[in-house]
Structure 1
Amino acid sequence: MTVSLHAVSALASPDMRRRILLAAGAAVILAGGVLLVVNRDTATEQPVKEQPVTMRVALTQSRVDEVRRTVAIAMNNDGPAPITVEQAELQAPSFTGVGPIRVDAPLPAGGLRVDVPVAFGTGICAGDELAPRSAASHVAMRVRTADGRVHDVRLALPEHDPILDKLLGLDCRQDYLDRQATFSFGPWTQRPGGRVAGSVVIKRVGFTGTITLREFAGSILLQVLPAPLGARTPKPYAVLRPGTDELTIPIVVDADRCTPHVLAEIKKPYVFPTYVSLDGGEVLYTELRISDADRAAFKPVVDACAKRNVVS
């Protein structure tokens, strides 16, 4: 007679399982995590399924993560005992792999969330797709349980994880634009009063049609406006016509929006959002390229801002 281990194990009471097995002509012994079922014909040994680690994971991204090109793996321990995550890896096939990192993340029992930042690499873009979807991704971890044993855990992220979709789309749109034109700053001239004059330069790379620079904006700290009209400058700010390879827009940079709160909280001092379109198509987001020379030119502006906000 054959006894169904699955059916027996589904019963609520251990004593009831023993009585049913005995009634069927079988004996059951539970020792050392092994269930031994003996019937009239054979003796079979089957391991009890263990779940030493019960976890949930998800991805989040803060402003600091954006600057550092990282994401945070939000980990929750839903098991009955504390665990420690010793190694973590974001396995995202749509991005260049960055490999596992060593961590020391104790997770108490009860579902308390702990975030572990990890790099996500660079998006892998196919052709000119501007809204790609990320491939199925996982988080792999090495976890130590309270008894000292180490377990390899691999948990799936949601299909087309929204964070990864967003990051892949940003990288692929930027990759596409980089192959069409560049948007950067030109030479600088220091002005009195903690200002600097320069230019935004559009250079054609591969796109032969009309390139429209609809708008650019300052960072959280620095205000960037076309000269001489500033905020009254009509939009779009510039149009690079076919047959012309480069266009320059005069600008002035100042720290008029600088406040003590901004100085204390700023996470992206040199991110300058820019909006462009090609041949009148979809408006695409990019950022003005920043060089070491640009940062050096901005330093007196930032220093003047800090000096004005010193509390005496």
Structure 2
Amino acid sequence: MLVLALLCAGCSGTTGAGSPAPAPPPPAVPPVPGIEAEVVRMRTDVTVDGQVHVRVTDTGDEPFTVTGVALDSPGFAPLPATALTAEFEPGRTIALRTSYGEPDCAAQVAPLAARLTVVRPDGAVQELRVPLAGDDLDVVHREECAVAGVLAVAGVELTGLAAREEAVTGSLVLTRSGDDDRAVTVVDARRSVVLDVAVDGLPLGLGPGERRVEAGVEFTPASCEPHVLAETKQPFVFPLSVVVGDGEPVAVPLPVDQAQQALLWDLLERVC
């Protein structure tokens, strides 16, 4: 019995120092012969919440058609497949637009795959799970989870917007979300493509023990160039640089609802 006990002393999942052994990496998604895929975030995706592209390549010697694409990752809530029709020939690469779900910040992005509905030349339909190369979705996961981490400590709100002669004014409000008492500080506010934003008295800090703090905010036109106004995809994206405690700054978008957007459009039309 003593020999058995000594032999089993090394059976626990610990390292030599007595700490738990690191978790094994998740199993890789097996390759699919004749098809390769990569996830990419294009410039057009940055302007649309929750969107990326899956770049699919026919690496085999026969054509096929893709009629549906979805992302498969533990780090994001699953969504229904995006219906489409993309016809592939050997060597052809096509970028397929699709959406990702809400991030699960307690999970890793890997193993990452694309779920493709593939129609073969003989009419056979296959549901395939193709491994996804590329790290753009890892970047999305880090960015969105960083924002979620900030908002779990303090909410950000734009209130009381009103039209002035050549501006729209209101208040930027920070409200503590729960029991986390770390300081939250807005250190910078950046303009959009067509509108400048100025926050009074930056940095705006919500100190330990404080539940709410606010500062005045003013929006003015940054550009009246007709082509800029016509072509902009992000007229109301105002990134705030926010620090929680002694952490690194996080780019948190200032929320602008539909009624507030209408006021800002009216400002551009009135002044420009």
What range is the shorter-chain TM-score in? 0.7 to 0.9
TM score, norm. by length of structure 1: 0.70
Corresponding residue of 1:138: 113
Q: Which amino acid aligns with 1:272?
A: F
Partner of 1:157, secondary structure, is: strand
Q: Percent same amino acid at aligned positions? A: 25
Runs of 4+ in 1 over 4 A off after TM superposition: none
Query: 1:92, CA displacement in angstroms?
Result: 1.2
Q: Which amino acid aligns with 1:211?
A: V
- Do the aligned residues in 2 keep the contact of 1:90 with 1:138 (CA within 8 Å)? yes
Deviations 1:45-82 (A, max 9, x none): xxxxxxx9612110111233232311111111123333
Corresponding residue of 1:261: 227
- Counterpart Cα distance in 1 of 2:194 and 2:78: 34
Listed as ranges, the gaps of 5+ residues in structure 1 are 1-51, 127-131, 228-232
- Do the aligned residues in 2 keep the contact of 1:63 with 1:267 (CA within 8 Å)? no
> Residue 113 in 1 paired to residue 113 in 2?
no
- Counterpart Cα distance in 1 of 2:40 and 2:63: 23
- Counterpart Cα distance in 2 of 1:102 and 1:174: 30
Corresponding residue of 1:59: 39
> Residue 240 in 1 paired to residue 220 in 2?
no
- Do the aligned residues in 1 keep the contact of 2:40 with 2:137 (CA within 8 Å)? no
Match of 1:91 among 66, 72, 75: 72
1:2-151 aligned at under 5 Å gives the runs 54-66=34-46, 67-109=48-90, 111-126=91-106, 133-151=108-126
Of the two, which has the highest radius of gyration? 1
- Counterpart Cα distance in 2 of 1:68 and 1:250: 28
Name the Cα RMSD after superposition: 2.2
How many residues were matched structurally? 239
Q: Which amino acid aligns with 1:172?
A: C
- Counterpart Cα distance in 1 of 2:222 and 2:249: 28
- Do the aligned residues in 1 keep the contact of 2:74 with 2:108 (CA within 8 Å)? no
Listed as ranges, the gaps of 5+ residues in structure 2 are 1-31
Larger relative contact order, structure 1 or 2 (CA cutoff 8 Å, min sep 6): 2
